[in-house]
Amino acid sequence: MLARSCAIARNDLRVVRRDAFPFVLLVAVPLVGMVFMKPAFRPTLRAEGLVHANGAEQAVPGMLVTCGFLLVSYVGYGFFREHAWRTWERLRASPATTTEILLGKALGSLALATAQFVLVFGLGSVAMGLHVHGSWGAVVLVGAAFALFVVAAGLAVTAVCRTVMQANTIAYLGTLLLACLGGALVPVTLLPGWARAIAPAAPTWWAMRGYRSAIVGGGGRVPGAVAVLLGCALALALVAVWRMRLEEPRQGFA
Amino acid sequence: MRPAALAVRGVRKRHGDVTALDGVELEIAPGEVLALLGPNGAGKTTLVSIVAGLLRADAGRVRVAGHDIERDAHGARLRLGLAPQELGVYPTLSVRENLRFHGELAGLRRAELQRRVAEVAEALALAPLLGRPARTLSGGEARRLHTGMSVMGRPALLLLDEPTAGADVEMRAQLLALVRKLAADGAGVCYSTHYLHEVEQLGASVAILDAGRIVARGALAALLARYGRARLELVKPSLESVVLDVTGRRCSPERDGAGDARA
């Protein structure tokens, strides 16, 4: 089963490689964002008691969480472009089962999420002076759980949308809303009261909580954050499996 | 004894109030090329879609090389190749990558996969184009690639839905040669087409679908003899006229343009 799923994932990645601009956007936007966000976050973090903070502790994971959610639209695009290119029915008529197709599409997107994580954290460390005082292992753990959540969200959004524009609209709206609520763009302490009250309902809030715990030390909040992210991923994956009808026509373009 | 490449038993399908297929019975033996003919809206594409597992029949059974398309979908699809009517290739990927992907889906790996890519590319005159992105191919070249992707897994049943639409003479000859070779190697081929002279060139047996029913089925010569005999002596019957006769769509001998050879 894994062989066909890997073949589908490799095929998707070949397509991305032929036109790398969308992936460049996934990496370039957070890198540019960090440059502007880092100095803005420094005083807030120091006011919270992190006296040696330089702002990268919030800017790097914050921009990764914000732009990581953009992957939702890339997951959708992996399906919708097959409809636009009329390769979808061929894929469905192939020996690949429904599970293999969904797994293959998910694996391709997970590979993109991994590359995004490595590049953003790598360049964030080198260029932004990010120092992980806690544990890189914990950072990777949170990153993996967040990637699974994002890919599952992408599958669920694809399952309920009929056009690529519908999927993009949900993805972009979700990106902004969840980034704000999660404290990825603005520290939670600066949010209005009503937003602070509902922030824990956003998976991104847990991702930021996990990253922060892993980066600034302690790491005590990492297991809880990972558990919540994995729970959300599981719930969204179930929605995707429940609602996904591979035989339903989808428009590759709006 | 090898099972039939395709066995369709009592298949029914409705689209809302419209009966698309009404108890279709059809069998294709290994090595047989069957031309599926019929007017637009007869149910050809619906039947092909059901056989390929893309649509679910309301009733009836479909077996591909002995494997039920519902109960053993994986087993059936392993033995099935589909080239739909509309071109379906990955435009940004090379010809080689398109062929490789469908070979991988069919379970081919490494040396075997490379060998099969070379074989298919050779058979369809795609070898010089292997490194070219599919989007740069001409219509005929893309059609050859489209068909080549469907035969990568050496299917026991090949479904070709109007494979020569828009093809030039040379490409049509290459495709027909490929179909003959696949049949000679033991594959059953279901060949849906409107180009009736291709059926004659292939020496295919014929099934005529009309209003969701198979209204005629048999060897080409037998159908010509049976349905063509009643025609005027000065008219040599063609397969086109047979189709028009059995589907009741002939308007008048003078106006239908059925392609009969008239003395």
Residues B187 and B131 in one domain: no
Closest residue of A to B56, CA-based?
A247
Indicate whether B96 belongs to any domain.
Answer: yes
**Residues B131, B194: one domain?**
no
State how many domains chain B has.
2
Instruction: State residue B235's pLDDT score.
Output: 58
The partner residues of B22 in beta bridges, in order of sequence, read B12
Interface mutation target, options B46, B80, B105, B108, chain A, most CBs of A under 10 Å: B105
Look up the pTM and report it: 0.86
| Residue B252 clears pLDDT 60, i.e. is over it | no
What does the pLDDT read at residue A246? 84
Residue B257 pLDDT > 90, yes or no?
no
pLDDT in tens, B137-180: 998 899 999 999 999 999 999 999 888 877 778 888 888 988 99
Contacts for A203 with CB less than 8 Å, ≥ 6 apart: A146, A149, A178, A182, A228, A229, A232
**pLDDT tens column, B190-227:** 999 888 888 888 888 999 999 899 999 998 888 888 87
Q: Which residue of B has its CA nearest to A97?
A: B74
Give the domain ranges of chain A.
Answer: 2-243
Give pLDDT, residue B175: 87
CATH number at residue B44: 3.40.50.300
Give CA–CA dist A166/B217, Å, rounded: 47
Mean pLDDT of chain B: 88
What is the per-residue pLDDT for A20?
83
Give the other-Cβ count within 10 Å of A59's Cβ.
26
> Same domain for B176 and B128?
no
Residues of B in contact with A90 (CB under 8 A): 82, 84, 88, 102, 149-150
Residue A65: its pLDDT value, please?
96
Predicted local distance difference test score (pLDDT) of residue A122: 95
Kindly state whether residue B159 falls inside one of the protein's structural domains.
no
Percent of all residues in chain B with a pLDDT value above 70, rounded to a whole number: 90
Range of the domain at B63: 1-79+164-263
The complex scores an ipTM of: 0.88
Q: CA–CA separation, A111 vs A107, rounded Å?
A: 6
- Give pLDDT < 50 ranges for chain A: none
Q: Are A90 and B55 within 8 A, CB to CB?
A: no
Nearest residue, CB atoms, B74 vs list A7, A88, A97: A97
Coil, strand or helix: which one is B9? strand
